[in-house]
C-alpha cells in the first residue's frame, strides 16, 4: 500500500500545483470490472488485444473483430465509474489548468463527469464508416454484425485507434501542449508499454513537472517518476484529493 509519507508528498505538491495533467490506462477501469489488456483477465477467446486491434485483423476478419468489440460493449454497458474516475473529475473542478489524457475507450471518465479530456485511442461508443468516413455515436447493445452506414451503406468500424494507426494530430498537439505546461502529472493504471502514450510521462518530467504514478505493479514509468504509489486506483486516488 502507498506509504503515508509518499501520499503526503503528492498531496503537498497538489496543494501548490497550478497546472495538472492526468494520464490514465486500463488500470483505472479495472476497479469498475473492465478487464485490463495485459492482466490475467485481458484475453478474449485466447486472442490478445494486439492480435485484434489492428486494421489488418479487421480487413482479414471484420466479423471476428466486431464480435470482440460487441463483447466489450456488452460488458462495459453494465459498468459504472469508480471512486478513482470520480476523483479525477473532481481534480478537473479544482484546477483551472487541467487536462486528462486517457488511453481507455470505455467512456467511464465522461460518465464520471470529466469534460477536459482527450480519449487518445478513441471511444467504444463511436463508429466510423470505412467508405464515407462519417463518425457517429452508436450505443446498440448488441450491435448488429456486420454494422452498415445509414448514410452510404458502407461497412462501419469502431472509431478507435488500432495498433499501427496514428493518433489524431489534434490529440497529439493538445496532449503535448498540456504535458509541456503542467507542473504536476499523475500517471494512473497504465503498464507504460504502448506508444506514444508511454512516452508522455517523460515529456512532463523534462518540462519540470512533479510526476507521480499510481499502479498495482512496478512499470517502465516507476524508475522515472518522483513518487510511485502502489495500490488500487479506487483506494489511492481519492486520498490525493481529500478535502
Ligand atoms: C502509432 C485501442 C505510429 C484498442 C489501443 C508496429 C507498427 C506500428 C506501430 C508500432 C509497431 N510496433 C510498435 C508500435 C507502436 C505501437 C505500440 O506502442 N505497440 C506496443 C504494443 C509496443 N503503437 C501504435 O501503434 C500507436 N500508433 O504508433 O502510430 C504511426 C504513425 C504514422 C502512421 C502509422 C503509425 C497506436 C497505439 C494505440 C493502440 N490502441 N487501444 C482498444 O482499446 O480496443 S492500445 C491499448 O493498450 C488500450 O488502449 C490500452 O489502454 C493501451 C495501453 O494499455 P494500458 O491502458 O496500460 O493497460 P494494460 O492492461 O497494459 O495495463 C494496465 C495497468 O494497470 C497495469 O500496469 C496494471 O498493473 C495496472 N492496474 C491493474 N489494476 C489496477 C491497476 N492500477 C491501479 N489500480 C488497479 N486496480
Ligand atoms: Zn458511409
Q: How does pLDDT run across 212-230, given as a tens digit for each residue?
A: 999 999 999 999 999 999 9
Question: Does pLDDT of 234 surpass 70?
Answer: yes
97 is catalytic: no
State the Cα–Cα distance between residues 119 and 219, nearest whole angstrom: 22
| Domain layout of the chain by residue ranges | 4-33+81-121+166-241, 39-78+130-160
Residue nearest to atom 62 of ligand 1 (CA): 191
Residue 206: partners with Cβ closer than 8 Å, 6 or more residues away: none
pLDDT: which is higher, 242 or 14: 14
Q: Which one from 85, 109, 121, 221 is the annotated catalytic residue? A: 121
Residue nearest to atom 36 of ligand 1 (CA): 163
* pLDDT number for residue 243: 55
Residue nearest to atom 71 of ligand 1 (CA): 27
Question: Does pLDDT of 41 surpass 90?
Answer: no
State the Cα–Cα distance between residues 12 and 95, nearest whole angstrom: 15
> Considering the chain, what is the average pLDDT of its residues?
95
* pLDDT number for residue 44: 73
- What topology is assigned to 4-33+81-121+166-241 in CATH? Rossmann fold (3.40.50)
Residue 37 Cβ contacting ligand 1 at under 6 Å: yes
Residue range 39-78+130-160, CATH number: 3.30.1600.10
Same fold, 4-33+81-121+166-241 and 39-78+130-160: no
CA 159 – ligand 2 centroid, Å = 13
Percent of the chain with pLDDT over 90: 91
CA 153 – ligand 2 centroid, Å = 6
Grade residue 76 by pLDDT with cuts at 50, 70 and 90. very high
Question: Does pLDDT of 99 surpass 60?
Answer: yes
State the Cα–Cα distance between residues 161 and 150, nearest whole angstrom: 22
Percent of the chain with pLDDT over 70: 99
The model carries a pTM of 0.96
Residue nearest to atom 29 of ligand 1 (CA): 166
For 161-213, how does the pLDDT look when each residue is reduced to its tens digit (9 = 90+)? 999 999 999 999 999 999 999 999 999 999 999 999 999 999 999 999 999 99
Question: Does pLDDT of 231 surpass 80?
Answer: yes
Sheet with 135-137: list strands edge to edge: 135-137, 122-129, 156-160
Phi and psi at residue 174, in whole multiples of 5°? Answer: -65, -45
| pLDDT mean over 37-63 | 87
Dihedral sign (CA 177, 196, 116, 158)? positive
Q: Is residue 111 helix, strand or coil?
A: helix
Q: Report the nearest atom of ligand 1 relative to the CA of 122.
A: 2
Ligand nearest to the CA of 218: 1
Amino acid at each position: 500500500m502507498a506509504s503515508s509519507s509518499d501520499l503526503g508528498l503528492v498531496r503537498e505538491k497538489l496543494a501548490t500545483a497550478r497546472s495538472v495533467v492526468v494520464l490514465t490506462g486500463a488500470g483505472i477501469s479495472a476497479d469498475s470490472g473492465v478487464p485490463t489488456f495485459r492482466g490475467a483477465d485481458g484475453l478474449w477467446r485466447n486472442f490478445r488485444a494486439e492480435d485484434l486491434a489492428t486494421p489488418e485483423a479487421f480487413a482479414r476478419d471484420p466479423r471476428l473483430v466486431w464480435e470482440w468489440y460487441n463483447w466489450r460493449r456488452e460488458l462495459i454497458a453494465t459498468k459504472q465509474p469508480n471512486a478513482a474516475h470520480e476523483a479525477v473529475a473532481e481534480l478537473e473542478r479544482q484546477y483551472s489548468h487541467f487536462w486528462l489524457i486517457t488511453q481507455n475507450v470505455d467512456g467511464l471518465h465522461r460518465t464520471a463527469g470529466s469534460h477536459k479530456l482527450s480519449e487518445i485511442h478513441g471511444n467504444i461508443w463511436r463508429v466510423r464508416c470505412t467508405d464515407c468516413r462519417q463518425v457517429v455515436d452508436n450505443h446498440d447493445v448488441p450491435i448488429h454484425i456486420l454494422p452498415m452506414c445509414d448514410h452510404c451503406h458502407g461497412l462501419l468500424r469502431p472509431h478507435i485507434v488500432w495498433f499501427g494507426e496514428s493518433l489524431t494530430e489534434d490529440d497529439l498537439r493538445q496532449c503535448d501542449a498540456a504535458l509541456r505546461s503542467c507542473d504536476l502529472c499523475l500517471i494512473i493504471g497504465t503498464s507504460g508499454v504502448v506508444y506514444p502514450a508511454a512516452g508522455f510521462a517523460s515529456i512532463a518530467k523534462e518540462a519540470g513537472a512533479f510526476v507521480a504514478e499510481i499502479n498495482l505493479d512496478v512499470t517502465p514509468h516507476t524508475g522515472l517518476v518522483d513518487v510511485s504509489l502502489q495500490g488500487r486506483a479506487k483506494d489511492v486516488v481519492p486520498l490525493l484529493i481529500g478535502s
